[in-house]
Chain A
């Protein structure tokens, strides 16, 4: 079932969505054995920024109909400490999809975000120097400080930024598109024209919830970050439409995600053109969801 993606050799097509699986925390909770029996074929880090971020004030979670709205706010230790402290702990991960002992290395994909081409360039250059990192995913759901518009929401701006930073790394560059835009396929084209090696989608859909207490007047937002992003089964039909639209318009590989809970769901994204499929929120229900889906895909059984 081994699969090639941007020059990487992966054990199977199932990876994690950025920010939905913390490998270092998982080794603490489930033991070091997980390092050699990792549930995903590649490990995507949470979004890393130049400076440390504490994240949004709580509450950060709201359970929506068949889904989750999160306003986590991209907490991370910043590029410097990520490279210094986390990278060594992420080495030597391998996966054994068939359980037969023929384990395969789990490459590391580092997800980064910056608010302009200069910041992104610095992130890419730093990652480029590190052999532990196999590919870089660029999260473009970041507001441009001047226009307020997400960098990834405007195709022209997106193409400019990707073109400006592309040369800073020789590693595969994946652009993680935002679904909060008028035409995601146009944005995918723009990323491709700018020099991206792959695109990934969907990120969470912008969403909001009001506090449940009817006594609070005026109504007040529940989430500490006011708005958040919707994920889980609730977004799967949207993801299928967006992945299909993008795959039809670009020549580079596509990583599809959004609401995948089973091998049948993964198969649908592959059927509309995805090369890899990421599992996000489903891991919260069961950390082994990715492994289960990969195994079922392999066996050709659904779900």
Chain B
């Protein structure tokens, strides 16, 4: 894993763009180390972080590094609460605090296996930098709620899309697309990130078909560097793993059943 400089650093937003239901945030990080695909950063706006509704946000928030080029880090954001809302409001020239790159990233696929990238919602973010990092062609399957969210698919190349409402691509679950892909060509390795339900679907399918899989998990985090033990997910065989330190990318075999607290928060839930 790429090691992070000790201490958070103050970075400047270079540009932001709307991408359907999401926001793309680009940040100048000339001195930051090059991240590995799957690593993340803890972000907090430099101004007006806190003091909002319920006096939140207070803690920094975790975001996958969606892309890294030319000394710029890109993030894909979805406004689901006070922290993401504040970060979505940032404009070019604004400053934010960043700590990272953090966590254990994806491991490159063996040469004889085709990589299938499976993303759900904002969980497509780490798959973009992964696609950049894999030289060989990959299969990309992405699931979204509706048309506005499905616009996020343009972050990756040649994605096949599924939507819950059928407004774009396959109507149904992205795991249905994955099942037929594995059936067609079982010599594959799966890389997945998305909501807990999707990850559990991928985990169960890959376990059944004997397909190796790397899953990028989420969990509520306070620190991102192994200090608080707050981001625990059950480890197969007992005990817990720290998502920020032992993950966020895990071999599917390391994990128990993935429940709601180990995936993206169920977006759109009333808070």
Contact = CB atoms under 8 A, between A and B. Distances in A.
A257 to B, nearest CB: 15
B169 to A, nearest CB: 30
Interface residues of B, number: 42
B97 A63 contact: no
B51 to A, nearest CB: 8
Given A20-B227, A21-B227, A30 B4 contact: yes
B6 A284 contact: no
A34 interface: yes
Contact of B270 (A20, A212, A281, A288): A212
Q: Which of A54, A61, A70 has the most CB of B within 10 A?
A: A61
B201 interface: no
A60 B60 contact: no
Nearest to B53: A65
A284 B56 contact: no
B6 A213 contact: no
B102 A29 contact: yes
A59 interface: yes
Interface in B9-36: none
B54 interface: yes
B227 A212 contact: no
A68 B59 contact: yes
Contact of B228 (A67, A70, A292): A70
B229 A60 contact: yes
Contacts of A233: 58
Q: Which of B44, B55, B220, B230 has the most CB of A within 10 A?
A: B230
B187 to A, nearest CB: 34
A72 B225 contact: no
Q: Which of B102, B222, B233 has the most CB of A within 10 A?
A: B222
A284 B4 contact: no
A72 B229 contact: yes
B269 A212 contact: yes
A61 B7 contact: no
Interface in A190-240: 212-215, 232-233
A118 interface: no
Given A55-B229, A61-B230, A70 B54 contact: no
Contact of A22 (B58, B226, B232): B226
A130 interface: no
B240 A75 contact: yes
Contacts of B102: 29
Contacts of B5: 30
B228 A25 contact: no
Contacts of B7: 286-288, 291-292
A60 B271 CA distance: 18
B155 interface: no
A28 to B, nearest CB: 7
Nearest to B55: A65
* A-B pairs with lowest CB-CB distance, top 4: A25-B226, A288-B7, A65-B55, A284-B223
Interface of B: 3-8, 44, 50, 54-60, 97, 99, 102, 219-223, 225-233, 238-240, 242, 245, 261-262, 269-271
12 contacts: A22-B227, A33-B6, A54-B238, A59-B261, A60-B220, A61-B230, A63-B56, A75-B229, A283-B223, A284-B223, A287-B8, A287-B227
